[in-house]
Amino acid sequence: METYAEFLAGLAAGDKDCLGNNKKPHILIVREKQLSEREYLQLFMKIMQKYRERGAGGTIVIPHTYPVAAERSDNGWLHLPFSLFQEYRKSGTFMELQVGTSVHSVKEAKAAQELGAAYVTAGHIFATDCKKGVPPRGMEFLAAVCAAVTVPVYAIGGIHQENLPQIHKSRASGACMMSEYVLL
C-alpha cells in the first residue's frame, strides 16, 4: 500500500514520466473498489499526505465512493457511482462537496446535472478489458451526453494514447485513463 500511495502521489505531483507532454493530470480519481472503507481511507490519506509533502498543487485528487475520505482529507471533492450520487443528493447529504458521478446514459447525465453534479464521467466509450464482452457505447454516445448537459463531461473506458485524438475532437472536457498507468 505504501508503494502504491507513493506512485499515485507522484503521478498527481507530476513526478512520473508517463503523461507525455502533460506533466501531470488535471484530476486524479482514486478508485479502489476492492478495498474496504477503512482500507480505502488509509490509502487515500497516505496519498494526500505524500502529495502535500511534495508541495504539489494543481492536480485535484478526488476520492471515489467513500465520503469519509473527502471529509477527512478536507479537499472538497468526491466521486460517486450514479446510484449513490442520486441517493445522497436527494437526501441533501454532502451538499458542501463538489461531487462528480459516473453516467451510462443521456438520461443519467441530465439527472446528474439537475442534482448538481460538478462533472460527469461518461462511458464506456471504447472496448476495454474492464468491461470484457460488453459493447462500448462509442463516440456517438459521448457526443449525445456532451450535447445534453453543460457540466464538464469526461470520457472513460478504453481510452489510450492512440484514440485520445478522437476524444479531443469531441466536445468532451477530457478523458480518463486507467490501464495506461497500470502498465508502467
Give the active site residues: 124
How far is it, in rounded angstroms, from Cα 65 to Cα 101? 10
User: Which residue, 36, 22, 27, is CA-closest to 8?
Assistant: 27
CB 172 within 8 Å of CB 138: no
SS3 131: helix
Q: Determine if the peptide bond prior to 124 is cis (ω within 30°).
A: yes
For residue 6, give the H/E element and its range: helix 2-13
User: Which residue, 111, 107, 118, 114, is CA-closest to 151?
Assistant: 118
Q: At what angle do helices 37-53 and 2-13 cross, to 10 degrees?
A: 50
